[in-house]
Homo-oligomer: A and B are copies of this chain.
Amino acid sequence: MTLPLRVAIAGLGTVGSGLLELIAANAEPIAARCGRPIVVCAISARDRHKDRGVPHGGIAWYDDAETMAQQAQCDVVVELIGGVDGIARRVVDAAIARGKHVVTANKALLAHSGVALAHAAEARGVVLAYEAAVAGGIPIIKLLREGLAANRAQRVYGILNGTCNFILTNMRRTGRPFGEVLAEAQKLGYAEADPSFDVDGIDAAHKLAILAAVAFGTEVDFAGIHVEGIRDVGALDIQFAGELGYRIKLLGLARMTEQGLEQRVHPCMVPLETPIAHVEDVFNAVVVEGDFVGRVVSEGRGAGAGPTASAVAADLMDIARGRLAMTFAVPAKKLTRTPAAPMDRHRGAYYIRLMVRDRPGVIADVTAALRDEQVSLESMLQRGRSPDEMVPVVLTTHDTEEAAMRRALSRIEALDAVLEPPRLIRIEAL
């Protein structure tokens, strides 16, 4: 076991460069903990001559990552290119076909093709590891697969997208609207030029699909996730949330219900007394509720070179040590295929914000619409008066079925005095 573990790295962006740096900087403790060194034997990236701030002289260079996966003398291929198909997929396929272990940070690939890849990896007797794909530096996959593995998971949820959390945190701190804070996040490098992947909830949904598979032993079901992003969260909503004792967070939540596997990504009202309400800025957090352990919360940086490299390196160390885990904690053929719980049947409490013309009878019309759909009101708040002008009215409900809530909102939206589409944010019991 003193032969080094030889690693080929495909992709030298932020994470790839960070990984090179980590493997060099911490070579000594890594070797002590693994009983053998980890060495980078080959790398591939688009531009060989770009200065990445990390020396890579003496390491075999491949212009084409797929060729590297097919030919490099290595034990593990690390895929850090990204994307669902194209070159990233070909690199992973080629590595598995050759009987090489694969470590990847590619959440989209796992969310869309995780089960097929798990079957392929198990058939070849290699590991497909992806700690870095979910919640960056937080070792949540290991936690679910090993540390909490004696539990039946009752619910798994978390703040899975740092960009959204940064935006929501700064909307609250500054009182400014979504668009302005997004622009600032883009300037700081916390949001992409095209931010839709993050702010529309897709990235969080990729991660949730992976978490749910590991937690519940189900096949990854990205298509079964109900996804809403944060574009419609208004500065007013953030302000009312505070008054009502909540923070607004984009959560991904998964649990097994009688109707099937419920997977949701959307903005949530989170009670201030829960730990997750205090997870701010670009930090991520994942909460696992297990039948014996109760609630375990893990918080850390969800992105960035250092945290992601830390997670990739942990996967490499497991392989170096011979701790070869199953992709989704159980053999791929034992993963169950569970129907998605229909969102219409979801039950929970709701926050509704209306913009109405301030005149007598409006509230009576609104509450009548709720009554007609058997939606039970918990509170109603109209701050200030401006006769015949537009004013916000905020309602919160008791537990209600989503379908009834939607029908009531259609009735409300049709009222003359309701001037904008109602905003709905689910209140989570955490």
Considering the chains assembled together, what is the distance between the CA atoms of A148 and B139 in angstroms? 7
Q: Which residues of B contact A307 (CB under 8 A)?
A: 292-294
- Whether B152 and A147, one on each chain, are in contact in the complex, defined by CB atoms closer than 8 angstroms, is no
For A330, what are the chain B residues with a Cβ–Cβ distance below 8 Å? 32-33
Considering the chains assembled together, what is the distance between the CA atoms of A131 and B304 in angstroms?
30
A334 CB within 8 Å of chain B: yes
| Interchain CB contact under 8 A, A309 and B323 | no
Q: From the candidates B145, B294, B329, name the one contacting A306 in the complex (CB within 8 A).
A: B294
* Residue numbers in B under 8 Å from A392 (CB-CB): none
Chain B positions within 8 Å of A296 at CB level = 137-139, 298-300
Q: Is the Cβ of B147 less than 8 Å from the Cβ of A142?
A: yes
- A18 near B142 with CB under 8 A, answer no
In the assembled complex, the CB of A279 is this many whole angstroms from the nearest CB of chain B, namely 7
Residue A30, interface by CB 8 Å: yes
Which residues 298-338 of A have a CB within 8 angstroms of B?
298-301, 304, 306-307, 309-311, 313-314, 316-318, 323, 329-331, 334
What 9 A-B pairs have minimum CB-CB distances, sorted nearest first?
A: A139-B147, A150-B313, A293-B310, A137-B293, A296-B300, A292-B306, A297-B299, A292-B310, A323-B323
Binding site for B on A (CB under 8 A): 18, 22, 25-26, 29-30, 32-33, 35, 131, 137-139, 142-143, 145-152, 217, 275, 278-279, 290-301, 304, 306-307, 309-311, 313-314, 316-318, 323, 329-331, 334
A-B contact pairs, 16 of them (CB 8 A): A142-B142, A142-B146, A142-B147, A143-B147, A147-B147, A148-B314, A150-B313, A150-B314, A275-B279, A292-B306, A293-B301, A293-B311, A296-B300, A297-B300, A298-B299, A323-B323
